[in-house]
Amino acid sequence: MATGFQFEHPSLNWGAPDVYQEFQRFKQHVEFTFKGPLVKAEPADRAGWLGLWIGQQGREVYKTFVWQENEQDNPDIILGKLETYIRPRTNKRVARFKACQRKQTEGENFDNFVKDLRLLLMDCDYGNTEDILIDLIISGVKHSKVQERMLDKGSDLTIAKAIEIGQQFELSQKQLKMIRGEEILRVSEHSYDKKKDHKGTKQQYRRPPVNTQNNNKQDKRRQDTYHHDHQSKCGNCGTTHGNNRCPVKGTTCKYCKKPDHWLKVCRKRLRKINMIQEVDQNSCDSQDSGDELLLYISTVKTETWRNSEDRWIVDVHIGDKALPVRIDTGAKCSIISKKSLNKLELKSKMFEITDSKKILKSYTGHKIQQIGKIRLPVIFKDREIYETFEIVDMEQDNIISGDFAESLNLVKRIDTIDTIEEIAKPNELSHDFPELIKNIWNITR
């Protein structure tokens, strides 16, 4: 049972909330280990390793099994008996009914909807689960436009394409709201109303008794103030006013030179703002606990970004194969797509795919499911450095983090600026956002 090198040993958590799902994770780790570090081990040795990995509670369950001759030396039979023991008894008719009734709820993430369907199908005992999954996605997805796009594909629709259509639609809807400013406006109004209600409650609690005449006058003033505060702001001037009293009539915008609106609400100017992201520090602290790590990556299509003049895409080598990668100085890890990994044709057993506990997120906040991680020797010019890549099954650029790019001498960090003689006048900035520009001075050491 001795091995010539160390590796990450699988372990089965019997205290997990869903023991069967935990066993599926454990089983996958065991299979990768038998194909990698223990590929040359005898079946009896593998069975011995398996007995160590299942823990004390697993060995107690192991004692209850009835064995035929030589079955105890077969790790596949041991895993099968453990799975039969752990798997809950189900009624496939009820499971199929639940799967057919599953619909995407309001505000539910598309990926979460598909994941839940996969779990329901595990108990349905269908022959071709992928084809059934496509039918359930089409019938259960909330948005009719997603259904139309999937049905347009006809018999050419695969599960990968169906998931891609759902993800693209969800992402485009979120980006459209950001461009229009709907989410930002909704957050701002909610925060304003919350503060205002809280303030009003405190004032009401501390209000001293007054006579009836003064009270009536104060009520009238409060009603007038409330009516003024709750008038909607004009889209042309940004202020509140009565009907047909907009002060911008006959004036010209200083930004786009078009009539009847002011610069601060100019739609052409506001379209330059791509995204505003607000991060709640408390939620980040709670999610980053333990050995899980949130990593934000870009999921932009390769065809959109790559061109001959793109200085941020370089070719590195893995063995004798070239691998195009994008340098992302803001990324916290390196990413490789499953398609690119397959093209490398890595045959050596030393390149093992292992489980990863990192949580990948796109800039829009969507979770990206990774297949695992792999450690690869990256060669650039005269340097060869090992790097751990997170593997994702989606169409996107391969990414190397800023720290790794610095190790390969692809980028250089500038830590200090000794002297700044003069700051050039930001003509475009002052033209776009004049309310933010007041004075510009020369800065010297």
Q: When comparing pLDDT for 41 and 301, which is higher?
A: 41
Instruction: Report if pTM > 0.75.
Output: no
Range with lowest mean pLDDT among 55-59, 384-388, 409-413, 428-432: 428-432
Distance CA(26)–CA(56), nearest Å, equals 15
Tell which wins on pLDDT, 187 or 242.
242
The SS3 assignment for 209 reads coil
Do 131 and 35 belong to one domain?
A: no
The pLDDT value given to residue 164:
92
CA distance from start to end of the chain: 67
Please report whether residue 185 resides in a domain. Answer: no
- Same domain assignment for residues 56 and 106: no
Question: Mean per-residue pLDDT for 25-35?
Answer: 91
- Indicate whether 276 belongs to any domain: no
Q: At residue 228, does pLDDT exceed 90?
A: no
Do the Cβ atoms of 418 and 445 come closer than 8 Å? yes
Backbone angles phi, psi at 378, to 5 degrees: -100, 130
Q: Is 351 domain-assigned?
A: yes
Distances (CA, A) of 365 to 231, 295, 415: 34, 10, 30
Per the structure, how many domains does the chain have?
3
Please write the tens of the pLDDT for every residue from 65-115.
888 888 889 999 999 999 888 876 557 788 889 889 999 988 888 998 998
The CATH number of whichever domain residue 144 belongs to comes to 1.10.1200
Three-class DSSP category at 21: helix
Read off the pLDDT of residues 409-443 as tens digits, 9 standing for 90 and up.
888 777 655 544 444 455 555 555 555 555 444 44
Strands 294-297 and 359-362: parallel
Identify the pLDDT of residue 333. 87
Boundary of a domain, candidates 148, 180, 212: 180
384: β partners: 379
Using the predicted structure, report yes or no on whether residue 7 has a pLDDT greater than 90.
no
| Domain final residue, candidates 42, 57, 86 | 86
User: In terms of domains, do 162 and 62 share one?
Assistant: no
Residue 118 domain boundaries: 92-180
* CATH at 310: 2.40.70.10
Say yes or no: 318 and 345 in one domain: yes
pLDDT confidence of residue 308: 47
Task: Classify residue 341: in a domain, yes or no.
Answer: yes
Q: Is residue 269 part of a domain?
A: no
Model pLDDT for residues 110-153, shown as the tens digit of each residue: 998 998 888 888 778 787 788 899 999 999 998 888 988 899 88
* 203 domain-assigned: no
Domain shared by 358 and 303, yes or no: yes
Indicate whether 329 and 366 sit together in one domain. yes
Q: Do 126 and 45 share a structural domain?
A: no
pLDDT tens, position by position, 275-289 = 333 333 344 444 444
What whole-number distance in Å separates Cα of residue 87 and Cα of residue 18? 10
Residue 170 belongs to a domain: yes
Are 50 and 150 contained in the same domain? no
**Residue ending a domain, choose from 141, 160, 180:** 180
Residue 246 in any domain: the answer is no
Instruction: Output the DSSP codes for 352-415.
Output: --B----EEEETTS-EE-EEEEEEEEEEETTEEEEEEEEEE-SS---EEEHHHHHHTTSS----
Taking alpha carbons only, the member of 295, 342, 301 closest to residue 318 is: 342
Whether 100 and 142 map to the same domain: the answer is yes
